[in-house]
Amino acid sequence: MLTRRDWLAALAAAPAATNLARPALAQAWPSRPVRLVVPFAAGGGTDVLARILANGLSERLGATVVVENRTGAGGNLGLENVIRAPADGYSLLMGTNGAVAVNRHLYHNLGFDPLKDLVPISLAFRIEHLLAVSNALPARSVGELIAMAKARPGTLTFGSAGTGSMIHLAGELFRLKAGIDITHVPYRGGGPAMNDLVAGTIDMMFDSLPSAEPQVKAGRVRALALCGTRRHPLLPELPTMEEAGLSGYAAASTGGLFAPQGTPPAVVDRVAAAVRELTDSGAFREQMGRSGGDAVAAGPAELAAMMARESEQWGTVVREAKISA
């Protein structure tokens, strides 16, 4: 029979035993395949880049990272699937800034908040955007385009991959920053919108750089400016919006890894370190670049701050443009 002294000794030893167990559990991870949920369809830009990342992580983590596509509701079904999953490190999310930072403003009654219910791990890639106009439009610069829009309020059109998409929001930010009235034309995907830009059916489009670059180089559309803060090696001659005269404008798509709230910090740190190793690799950066992404890492704290800034910026755009999905 245990005496009172035995019970006290056992209680005193319990925290130490628990602390000893935690490193052991962290070291054992991963002991089985890790799920990487992509909240968009297979074959899309985010999915392709996520699969490159998953292959690299599999090598560095010593366990298979399996991509699982969970589509629907603008990415919200995939987010919720990860948020509700056990916080054991075996469910990760390939989260874009649109899904994580913007959807919380576009969709009401989500039942969750990505900024609170997900743990940021690491940024993995960035996809730049550009402003392109139809060859039928005489504007040769951002300044000329803005002047034309002010002279013909409400008549110029810009296409997008759908209401609430990042390329839609990039157009709305341009409208607000430039103080002009242009009309949004949503499509079921960026491809059909680009086809109509080439045909001259719409006047302009804020497309991803990898998607638009072949059309620009072939002369089918005219690029006026990059939406990022720096020039890009794919089109080094193309100025940024700032250089083109529109200050304070920046828009891009980003992809990062997230996990359910409560995921062990040791797991978060290990995955973040693996992503950093990958993005430091020239071969990995080249592979990402061929598929349209710029490989770039940012740790948990930096990614959290980035998503907070993105949420604030795009939340303002959503409210001022009165956008709802």
What pLDDT score was predicted for residue 324? 83
pLDDT of amino acid 14: 44
Please report which helix (H) or strand (E) contains residue 271, including its range: helix 265-279
Determine how β-strand 118-134 pairs with β-strand 294-298.
antiparallel
Predicted TM-score of the model (pTM): 0.85
- Tell me whether the omega of the peptide bond preceding residue 30 falls within 30 degrees of 0, making it cis: yes
Cα separation of the two ends of the chain: 66
> Which long-range contacts does 303-308 make (Cβ < 8 Å, 24+ apart)?
303/120, 303/121, 303/122, 303/123, 303/256, 304/120, 306/97, 306/123, 306/254, 307/97, 307/100, 307/101, 307/114, 307/115, 307/120, 307/256, 308/101, 308/115
User: In the chain, what are the domains?
Assistant: 34-126+252-321 (3.40.190.150), 128-226 (3.40.190.10)
Q: Are 194 and 223 in contact (CB under 8 A)?
A: no
Residue 18 has a pLDDT of 41
pLDDT value of position 106: 94
Note the pLDDT of residue 1: 42
Tens-digit pLDDT string for the chain (325 aa): 444 444 344 444 444 444 444 444 445 899 999 999 999 989 888 999 999 999 999 999 999 999 999 999 889 999 999 999 999 999 999 999 999 999 999 998 899 999 999 999 999 999 999 999 999 999 999 999 999 999 999 999 999 999 999 999 999 999 999 999 999 999 988 899 999 999 999 999 999 998 899 999 999 999 999 999 999 998 999 999 999 999 999 999 999 999 999 999 999 999 999 999 999 999 999 999 989 899 999 999 999 999 999 999 999 999 999 998 7
What is the reported pLDDT for 197? 98
Q: Which sign does the torsion angle of CA 273, 278, 281, 285 carry?
A: negative
* Cα distances (angstroms) measured from residue 205 to each of 47, 63, 219, 220, 292: 23, 42, 15, 13, 18
- The DSSP 8-state label assigned to residue 133 in this structure reads E
Question: Is the Cβ–Cβ distance between 223 and 212 less than 8 Å?
Answer: yes
Q: Which of 286, 257, 288 is nearest to 274 (CA)?
A: 257
Cβ–Cβ under 8 Å, residues 321 and 274: no
Contact assessment for residue 65 and residue 57, using Cβ atoms and an 8 Å cutoff:
yes
